[in-house]
Amino acid sequence: MSSMTSLLNQFVFFAFFQGLFLIVIFIISNNKRRLINIYLLILVLVLMIGLIGKIGQFSLNWQRQIKGLSEFSILLFGPTVYMFVKSTLSEKRFSKQDLFHYIPGVVYSLIVTFYYITPTQETIAARIESGELFRIVHILVGVGLAFNITYFVLSTLKFNELKNSIQKEVSYVLNINFLKNFLIAVGGCLLIWLVVYLLSFGNHHQIEIISREFIWLAIALIVLFIAYYQMVSPSIFRFKNISREIKYVQSRFSRADLDKLKLRLEQIMENKKPYLNSRLLKSELAEMMNINAPELSRLLNERIGMSFFEYVNYYRIHEFIRLAKSPVIEQKTLLGLAQEAGFQSKSTFNKSFKQIMGCPPSEYLKISN
């Protein structure tokens, strides 16, 4: 047990210094500062406040005050996760209104300060003896858990909402594994916390004490998770450029106008072949037609009956078929032809092909030949 605790402590130390490393990079590097989402930095800071409590327990004598300091992060965690998800997938900038999300965290921190950190050791001992401290801490932890679960649910709903919104603007499948995995990691952390909290209601105090260690392990893993992705793939935070909201008045086009626009769109697709651009955006195609993206959406919905994603991939599928029936097929694989037709990934190509043509590409080529 002691060896496991020692290993956990070393892991927490490592995660803490990884977070410190990210903060130093943010301070000294202008380039990194432009790439790092401000809420990501706040989240790392919040998590590091939590880790300070754990480090203080096994490294410093000032245990109660350091442990109390780590409690400050409890009600700051959920709102920061929510604002991070929201700002990563949208053009949302930091504003003074965002600070309202942190008011409960500030109030909570003040309660912890005046009830647990600043009182004398004699006062704390008396509260422990009477059982008052346990009851108050139990209530505060329950409030913190409910608060963070609520923000986790809001974060997940916002993630799905913004993901679906952005997907309508692009002609390829978004690579949002980081945010999805990030929310899974946060959910896992909250699940462990919930289990530990429920154990505290019964006569399982020893199990609860042991289980509590895994909360620190989960927090440390989230810090390492963020540090890893920030260093190896900073581009994962650039979705907001795609999701820029276009403000517009209700579409000015009549039904006759839409019929003309449909012909113009078909001519552009056949002559200029914009679908060959594997990262084609709806706004780019709309610009080629001298209309805005919402008007293009209306055209696709009312006159063609497809989403932007489906429409562009329809042309890519037919471009693939054209290439597959030409001499080019002798020099390239099916995946190579699909990429030449504008597809980014094999899975998207196979799925789109089967939806449009009713069978896998290899089977279709056998039948057509």
Q: Is residue 236 domain-shared with residue 261, that is, in the same domain?
A: no
Residue 248 inside a domain? The answer is no
260: Cβ contacts below 8 Å, ≥ 6 apart: none
Q: Is residue 231 domain-shared with residue 286, that is, in the same domain?
A: no
Q: Is residue 202 domain-shared with residue 67, that is, in the same domain?
A: yes
CA 272 to chain centroid, in Å, comes to 35
Q: Is residue 74 domain-shared with residue 148, that is, in the same domain?
A: yes
pLDDT in tens, 188-233: 888 888 888 887 777 665 565 555 556 666 666 776 666 666 555 5
Residue 249 inside a domain? The answer is no
Beta bridge partners of 281: 170
Q: Is residue 109 domain-shared with residue 148, that is, in the same domain?
A: yes
Q: Is residue 136 domain-shared with residue 90, that is, in the same domain?
A: yes
The closest of 144, 9, 2 to 74, measured between CA atoms, is 144
Structural domains in the chain (count): 2
Phi, psi torsion values for 281, nearest 5 degrees: -105, 155
Q: Is residue 157 domain-shared with residue 224, that is, in the same domain?
A: yes
pLDDT in tens, 70-83: 788 888 889 988 98
Residue 218 inside a domain? The answer is yes
Report the b/e string of 289-303 with b at 16+ CB within 10 A: eebbbbbbbbbbeee
Q: Is residue 234 domain-shared with residue 263, that is, in the same domain?
A: no
Q: Is the pTM of this model over 0.85?
A: no
The list of the chain residues with pLDDT below 70 reads: 1-12, 14, 25-26, 29-36, 53-54, 56-64, 91-94, 203-220, 223-251, 328-330, 368-369
Residue 236: CB atoms within 10 Å = 17
Residue 246 inside a domain? The answer is no
What gap in Å lies between CA 313 and CA 352, rounded to an integer?
Answer: 7
Residue 182 inside a domain? The answer is yes
Q: Is residue 169 domain-shared with residue 201, that is, in the same domain?
A: yes
Final residue before a domain boundary, out of 210, 241, 272: 241
Final residue before a domain boundary, out of 175, 207, 241: 241
Residue 274: CB atoms within 10 Å = 17
Residue 78 inside a domain? The answer is yes
The dihedral sign for the CA sequence 233, 234, 237, 240: negative
Boundaries of domain holding 357: 255-368
